């Protein structure tokens, strides 16, 4: 059974620090993995999508890496800012049959950046 | 600026009433998801469509929930009759499906309160 785990559930760091959020998955034969952020009372915003053939993706201060063999993805946030405070979720896709896929979500990491 | 549009944003209704939520996926996207989010359960997949055909609605209570795509620009989620336990935020998401699966984009959600 495919499972996605995000640890820790919550993280609080001072502004300016670099930080890493973790996403682990049980089956390494993934199709792709997507990182989202969710602000309170809002929808989910896509941050980065990594295909199974890629090792990392970058967008501004964000860098997502993928290590399928260890079943792990990390989201690196450089020079954190209070505006980065949000819940970060990862979603992993596995192909099922006939081009259909199963999307499994982690429970998220709630990040608080202290000014 | 392409985005997933959901209506209504907020809905308060009484138990037993019918509720219909609507979603306009991003033009050109052929996969549509309905999710429900609560504090206790996190994100739960209710239904998943590709090319307007339902592929997975196993997460949806069949006795009271129904999901349809009358056309490629409209997805609906109906609850009849509604119950207090249906109170949640309902998200619609769209993406490109098939063998070239792109990013998943979420709407702002419909916050439902059933009294």
A49–B103 CB contact, under 8 Å: yes
C-alpha to C-alpha distance for B104 and A47, rounded to whole angstroms:
10
Q: What is the mean pLDDT of residues B86-103?
A: 81
Does B23 touch chain A if contact means CB atoms closer than 8 Å? no
Q: How much is the pLDDT for B1?
A: 65
In B, which residues are within 8 Å of A105 by CB distance?
Answer: 42-43
Q: Are B97 and B41 in contact (CB under 8 A)?
A: no
Could you report the per-residue pLDDT of A51-73, keeping only the tens digit for each? 999 999 999 999 999 999 999 99
In B, which residues are within 8 Å of A64 by CB distance?
Answer: none
**How far lies B49's CA from each of A49, A106, B61, in Å?**
21, 22, 16
A31–B101 CB contact, under 8 Å: yes
C-alpha to C-alpha distance for B5 and A22, rounded to whole angstroms:
30
**pLDDT band with cut points at 50, 70 and 90 for residue A2:** confident
C-alpha to C-alpha distance for A89 and A103, rounded to whole angstroms:
12
Could you report the per-residue pLDDT of B3-48, keeping only the tens digit for each? 999 999 999 999 999 999 999 999 999 899 999 999 888 889 999 8
Name the residue facing B106 among A44, A99, A103 (closest C-beta).
Answer: A44
Residue B98: is its pLDDT beyond 60?
no
In B, which residues are within 8 Å of A42 by CB distance?
Answer: 108-109
Name the residue facing B105 among A32, A46, A100 (closest C-beta).
Answer: A46
Could you report the per-residue pLDDT of B41-60, keeping only the tens digit for each? 888 999 989 889 988 888 88
- Greatest C-alpha distance within chain B: 43
Could you report the per-residue pLDDT of B65-91, keeping only the tens digit for each? 999 999 999 999 999 999 999 999 999
B109–A105 CB contact, under 8 Å: no
- B94 CB neighbour count, 10 Å cutoff: 27
Q: By C-alpha distance, which of B42, B31, B103 is closest to A34?
A: B103
In A, which residues are within 8 Å of B104 by CB distance?
Answer: 34, 46, 91, 103
């Amino acid at each position: 059974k495919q499972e996605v785990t995000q640890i820790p559930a919550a993280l609080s760091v001072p502004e300016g620090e670099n930080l890493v959020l973790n996403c682990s998955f049980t089956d390494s034969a993934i199709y792709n993995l997507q990182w989202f952020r969710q602000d309170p009372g809002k929808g989910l915003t896509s941050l980065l999508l990594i295909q199974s053939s890629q090792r990392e993706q970058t967008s501004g201060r964000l860098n997502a890496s993928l290590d399928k063999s260890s079943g792990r993805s990390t989201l690196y946030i450089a020079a954190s800012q209070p505006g980065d405070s949000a819940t970060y979720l990862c979603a992993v896709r596995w192909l099922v049959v006939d081009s259909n896929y199963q999307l499994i979500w982690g429970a998220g990491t709630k990040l608080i950046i202290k000014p | 600026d392409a985005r997933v549009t959901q209506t209504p944003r907020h809905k308060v209704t009484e138990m037993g009433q019918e509720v219909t939520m609507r979603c306009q996926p991003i033009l050109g996207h052929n996969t549509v998801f309905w999710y429900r989010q609560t504090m206790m359960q996190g994100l739960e997949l209710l239904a998943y469509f590709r090319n307007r055909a339902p592929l997975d609605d196993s997460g949806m209570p069949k006795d009271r929930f129904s999901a349809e795509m009358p056309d490629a620009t409209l997805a609906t989620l109906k609850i009849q009759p509604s119950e207090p336990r249906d109170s949640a935020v309902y998200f619609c998401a769209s993406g490109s499906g098939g063998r070239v699966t792109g990013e998943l984009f979420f709407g702002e959600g419909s916050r439902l309160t059933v009294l």
